[in-house]
């Protein structure tokens, strides 16, 4: 009985930490490196016939060259709305529209801009670490509540807290790994 409750708490903790890690990964994808990536614009909301619609539902993306992203709308009538959404997103990209597709040319990042982006990803990584620690704190409170209600023993609580700490360390290490990879991408010329 007691191990079932503990396993439920640990499974929930793992799931929440995985979601926090996925959120960090998604946040990193929105930070522009010198290379073209559709992740930068996929989530932009486009006013599509009066409805705010994510760009990824309105177009295909391709990267024919390392610094060029081509957005191919499914409905050619939406091309102006898509171009407007990209322009107003303040991404530092100037869309060029030929009536069929929108081309986004990614300029080479300056050293100063790269450093700003590194600061930004470090900040987002720290937010991810804080989120993971928050999940740990929540799980610990649940486990302490189970101990108070005599659902688990204090020895079991101590054992599970060690497991919880290991899960947390793994989550933080994963965030650090993502950060190191993104920093390398940003600083690569």
Mean pLDDT score, 92-116: 83
Domain with CATH 3.30.1360.40 in the chain: 38-105
Pairing of strands 59-65, 95-97: unpaired
Task: For 23-70, write each residue's pLDDT tens digit.
Answer: 999 888 877 776 777 777 888 888 888 889 888 898 999 888 888 889
pLDDT surpasses 60 at 123: yes
CA torsion, ordered 42, 43, 48, 51, to nearest 10 deg = 160
* CA-based R_g, the chain, Å: 22
0.85 surpassed by pTM: no
Mean pLDDT of 7-14: 92
- CATH code of 2-30+110-187, in short, is 1.10.132.20
Most distant CA pair in the chain, distance: 70
Report percent pLDDT > 90 for the chain.
36
Is residue 128 helix, strand or coil? helix
Question: b or e along 95-122 (b: 16 or more beta carbons within 10 Å of the residue's beta carbon)?
Answer: beeeeebbbbebeebeeeebeebbebbe
- Asked: is 38-105 a CATH 3.30.1360.40 domain? The reply is yes
Tell me phi and psi for residue 47, to 5 degrees.
-75, 95
């Amino acid at each position: 009985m007691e191990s079932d409750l503990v396993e439920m708490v640990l499974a929930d903790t793992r799931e929440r930490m995985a979601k926090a890690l996925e959120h960090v990964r998604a946040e990193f994808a929105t930070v522009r490196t010198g290379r073209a990536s559709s992740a930068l614009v996929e989530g932009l909301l486009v006013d599509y016939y009066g409805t705010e619609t994510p760009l990824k539902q309105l177009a295909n993306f391709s990267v024919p060259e390392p610094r060029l992203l081509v957005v191919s709308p499914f409905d050619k009538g939406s091309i102006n709305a898509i171009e407007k959404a990209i322009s107003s997103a303040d991404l530092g990209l100037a869309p060029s529209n030929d009536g069929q597709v929108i081309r986004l040319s990614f300029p080479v990042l300056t050293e100063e801009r790269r450093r700003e982006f590194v600061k930004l990803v470090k900040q987002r990584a720290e937010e991810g670490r804080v989120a993971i620690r928050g999940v740990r704190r929540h799980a610990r409170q649940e486990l302490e509540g189970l101990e108070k209600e005599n659902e688990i023993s204090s020895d079991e609580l101590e054992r599970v807290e060690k497991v919880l700490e290991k899960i947390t360390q793994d989550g933080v290490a994963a965030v650090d790994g993502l950060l190191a990879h993104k920093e390398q991408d940003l600083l690569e010329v």
